[in-house]
Chain A
Amino acid sequence: MIGRPITRAKAVLLSVLSVLLLLAGYTWMSHRQHQVNPNDTTIPSWSQLAEGVKKFTQPDRKGERWVVEDSLATGERLAMGLALGIVFGFLIGMLMGCIAPVEAFLQPPISLLAKVPQTAALAVYFVFFGTGMEMYVAMISFGIIPALAVTVYLAVKEIPAEMLDKAYTLGASAFEVATEVVFKQVLPKFIDAVRLSIGPAIVFLIAAEMVVGDVGFGYRIRLQFKLSNMNVVYPYLALLAGFGFLLDYGFRMLQFKLCPWYQSHTK
């Protein structure tokens, strides 16, 4: 029946089953491919995959472990870009929601910017910011700022006027209404928006790394793909997925910690 809950045990069983099916399907596809061509590298067997993993976890000729240097480079770019985007996205959204002139002034550029596909605008970022750290950070933050700002702005607008008026009767200043009421009311929705923006941020970053990177996940995946080393590409994809999942989980925990009221509120 629609909406009828199942027991916890059943839910876990089904989750495990879906992962097992995925792995079994892969094994079967790889096996079939290798019967046709024993040297195939497009759908590597499990032993080929193990070789690939060894390749990027052992030091190469220059003594670098790929996975370490790629993780550090990509992680740093992502962290800086996200941090900047989060701070400015939030501030812009708050200012737009709270101050009418700012709203009128910023709405056109924000709504236009939101419609530009970041990956298509890559060249623009290369022109303005070169191919170094600045470019990655600018690309990620500009990419997520419009969506974040609009989410915050709409969430602020959604707050009933009664809640704001009430705060004044409790002795709040305009600044306190913003920090004590608007901020706290908007925070959980903002964290949700940040979670949703992690995906696009990674897409932008990987795309840029594929084009101009000399280290990082995007660079490595493109290079190894050109060499048909899919036994490196697949584990790298899995790592990226894990990376994104952990980040998402972290933000979910943060929301749980900072806004315990939101859990019972949305139920």
Chain B
Amino acid sequence: MTLADPDNFGLQCQGVSHWFGENKVLFDLNLEVQAGQFVGLVGPSGCGKSTLLRAILGTHPPLKGRILTMQNGRLANADRPGRDRGIVYQKYSLYPFLTALDNVALGLKLDQTTTAFRWLNWTGWAKKRREFRDRAGAFLEKVGLGQAMHLYPSQMSGGMQQRVAIAQALIMEPEIILLDEPFGALDEATREELQEMLLRLYEENAEVKAAGGKPPYTLIIVTHELNEAIRVGDRLVGLSQYWDWKADGHERSPGATVVYDKAVPVFRPDERPEYALFDDIRREIRKYVYNPEVLQQRDKHINVGPTR
């Protein structure tokens, strides 16, 4: 299968560069994500993970290069946020003025009805709203939040909030979901629970794939926790400004780019992660992605990476 196949396409970043004045952030970044992949994105602080994520989201398009996503069945530039890309932030993902149920139903409402319809066709809207709420309710049940449906975000724990935020993004069935440090503010136990929730989605992917369908969930998770990236992802991408740019003929660092891209083992949701197994991967990442002293050729540790 190739990326050109619409049933396989997730995301494509082509030669993406970004800078803020003199401050070079991203340089000639190429990244291809296939449908159904769970990409763990890691890198030292200041390497531009957030810049890349915002570029993919479309709120801050890159100054050079382009980012393609599947929009309404065809490839298009992701130069503005759209319903084909979902996002879960560390905070501010949920609307404080809506209950869990309405937060999840909001996307259906905004996507499938217009303001004119809601304001003018009251009975039609009432019917639609019931339908959206039923769907949102069923979805919340599925992620184990049946009890919390009518709570406002301020009445929920951090873990519940992020669970709802993920449901809110998932119900839109976006082509790709971006998670920006989604569990950064949670305690260890809650974190693991939510990782399991994501792994269950990965299992669902595998089932659909086995039946010959397009895997429904594709995601990029940005995290500073290496273990989390390894456990949740089936692929680990390292973004770093520490690579041998001198050999490429640059006088000053041109910015961060992908220096590490390898498949990582896949775990079942109920599997207790054996963190000791992660040690080899972590050692490699620490050395080639995080260590400013070790400068290697940018594509030396790219096994999965873009088919150039």
Contacts and interface: CB of A to CB of B under 8 A. Distances in A.
Interface string A143-180: 00000000000000000111101111111110110011
A261 B115 contact: no
Q: Is the interface of A mostly helix, strand, loop or mixed?
A: helix
A139 B111 CA distance: 44
A265 B154 contact: yes
A173 to B, nearest CB: 8
Interface string B138-173: 000000000000001011000000000000110010
Interface in A210-267: 259-262, 264-265, 267
Interface in A5-59: none
Contact of B172 (A160, A165, A169): A169
Contacts of A71: none
A259 B96 CA distance: 10
A169 B174 contact: yes
A169 B85 contact: yes
B82 interface: yes
B110 A185 contact: no
B114 to A, nearest CB: 8
Nearest to A160: B92
Contacts of B95: 163, 181, 184-185
Contacts of A175: 115
Nearest to A179: B115
B24 interface: no
Among B95, B112, B174, find the residue whose CB has the most chain A CB atoms closer than 10 A. B95
B92 A169 contact: no
Given A162-B92, A184-B97, A171 B154 contact: no
B306 interface: no
B80 A169 contact: no
Contacts of A166: 87, 89, 92-93
Interface in A75-121: none
Contacts of B110: 167, 170-172, 176, 180
B82 A169 contact: yes
Among B89, B110, B155, find the residue whose CB has the most chain A CB atoms closer than 10 A. B110
A125 B256 CA distance: 63
B97 A264 contact: no
A176 B81 contact: no
B107 interface: yes
Given A162-B89, A176-B115, A171 B96 contact: no
Contact of A259 (B59, B87, B97, B112): B97
Interface string B179-211: 000000000000000000000000000000000
Contacts of A168: 58, 80-83
A185 B89 CA distance: 18
Among B80, B85, B96, find the residue whose CB has the most chain A CB atoms closer than 10 A. B96
Contact of A171 (B80, B111, B168): B111
Contacts of B81: 165, 168-169
Contacts of B106: 170, 180
A262 B155 CA distance: 11
A162 B92 CA distance: 6
A185 B80 contact: no
B162 to A, nearest CB: 14
A265 B87 contact: no
Contacts of A267: 154
B86 interface: yes
A162 B83 contact: no
A264 B153 CA distance: 10
B96 A261 contact: yes
Contacts of A167: 110
A176 B112 CA distance: 12
Contacts of B172: 169-171
A232 B172 CA distance: 66
Contacts of B58: 168
B226 to A, nearest CB: 25
13 contacts: A162-B89, A162-B92, A162-B93, A163-B95, A165-B81, A165-B87, A166-B89, A168-B82, A171-B110, A179-B115, A185-B96, A261-B97, A264-B154
Interface of A: 160-163, 165-173, 175-176, 179-181, 184-185, 187, 259-262, 264-265, 267
Q: When A and B form their complex, which 4 residue pairs have the shortest distance between CB atoms, in order from nearest?
A: A171-B111, A170-B107, A168-B81, A162-B92
Given A162-B92, A168-B58, 19 more contacts: A161-B59, A162-B89, A165-B57, A165-B87, A166-B92, A167-B110, A168-B80, A169-B57, A169-B85, A169-B87, A169-B169, A169-B174, A170-B83, A170-B168, A175-B115, A176-B115, A185-B95, A185-B97, A267-B154
